[in-house]
Structure 1
Amino acid sequence: MSAVARKICLLGDFAVGKTSLIRRFVEGRFDESYLSTIGVQISRRTVTLAAPDVTLNLYVWDTAGSEPFTAVVRSYYQGARGAILVCDLTRPDTLQSLTKYVREMSAVNKAMAFVVVGNKVDLAGQREISDAMLDEAAQQYNAPWFLSSARTGENVEEAFQVLAGQLR
């Protein structure tokens, strides 16, 4: 059985952990150092979904999350079937920003699947976004949501698998 190619993007403000989530999902590791993504980086991982058996080559596009790149990044959205919307649980403004990314992505691709990820759940003492706030945002985008940690790996695989399941 041949694999079906699917393009997905990780969207969110700078330093929410998009690159770290991708690295954890694709390579199974976490790097403590922070390097801001410039432009786009593309990673690939093959996933097999059960019932019915489908193999997907997920092409994961990691886009810059800073405002100066917005016009350029919009062109990277072309052809995407899904997106993981990432916010940093210690920075409430990053949850509010997701609306902008959904609007931009939906303008380019009409039928999109979304998953919301509240990242950095391992920083429990610094958390400022509640489950209720995440749930409210996810409902706006008709999306499931996860609390995750790229550092520990908590719910990273699950979030990507749920999105992949919507892309059959």
Structure 2
Amino acid sequence: MIAKKVCMVGPFAVGKTSLVRRYVESIFSDTYLTTIGVKISKKTVDAYDGQVQLMIWDIEGVDVFTELKPSYLRGASGVLLVLDGTRPASVDMAEELSKLLAEQLPGVPVVGLLNKSDLTYEWKLGDSDMKGIEKLGITLIKTSAKTGHNVELAFDTIVEKMGLGSGVPEST
């Protein structure tokens, strides 16, 4: 079985850890836990040539005081760039992060997750914001770690873009 590294990147408190927990453990908690450094989770999925173990690197959030450490990205086969629909500032960071990702990981697929779709009534984003992200060449998927909406689709999409196949979890 081969292993592939997928990095979860984005600003603080956008739901990276919650998305990973929903995908790997099928759970959600309202308790906010700040990730310091990186937390690695694993999930085995079906691929074209058998099974692949996804090594999901949940990387600490970035903001004006912290930057994304390029060493965390080394060896990544795919990236999920997580943004928060209720916080326009997180979307503003998308351009900066996508430039860094393009420099550090040329040719590595990036999928954008616009998280907290269960709170669309609180979203402060317009269509122009989303089109701006898509202009960066990033596929955008609306997700909710709380309800599970499109979480499987998000990981399936990055697995497909990495050229591995369907990303369907192994049967147990």
TM-score above 0.5: yes
State whether structure 2 residue 146 is matched by structure 1 residue 133. Answer: no
SS in 1 for 2:35: coil
Matched, 1:22 2:13: no
Q: 2:57 aligns with which of 37, 45, 61?
A: 61
Q: How does 1:11-160 map to 2 (within 5 A)?
A: 11-49=9-47, 52-67=48-63, 68-70=65-67, 73-140=69-136, 142-160=137-155
What displacement does 1:145 show? 1.4
* DSSP-derived class of the 2:81 partner: strand
Give the SS at the match of 2:67.
helix
Residue 4 of structure 1, CA deviation = 2.0
Are 1:43 and 1:60, in contact at CA under 8 Å, matched by a contact in 2? yes
Distance 1:47-1:154 versus aligned 2 partners, 3 A rule = same
Query: Offset of 1:132 from its aligned partner?
Result: 4.7
Q: TM-score scaled by structure 1? A: 0.89
Instruction: Report SS of the residue matched to 2:152.
Output: helix
Shift of 1:39: 0.5
Counterpart amino acid of residue 25 in structure 1: Y
> What is the CA RMSD across the aligned residues, in angstroms?
1.6
1:109 Cα shift?
Answer: 1.7
5+ residue gaps in structure 1? Answer: none
1:66 Cα deviation after fit:
3.0
SS, match of residue 110 in structure 2: strand
1:123 aligns to what SS in structure 2?
Answer: helix
Identity of aligned pairs, percent?
36
Q: Is the 8 A contact 2:112 2:138 kept in 1?
A: yes
Confirm or deny: 8 A CA contact 1:135 1:145 kept in the other structure: no
**1:165 correspondence with 2:160:** yes
Q: Which amino acid aligns with 2:116?
A: K
Give me the whole-angstrom Cα distance separating, in 2, the residues matched to 1:163 and 1:87: 16
Aligned 8 A contact 2:133 2:140 in 1: no
Structure 2 segments unaligned to the other structure (5+ residues):
165-172
Deviation >4 Å, runs of 4+: none
Name the CA distance, whole Å, in 2 between partners of 1:138 and 1:114. Answer: 11
Post-superposition offset of 1:92: 0.9
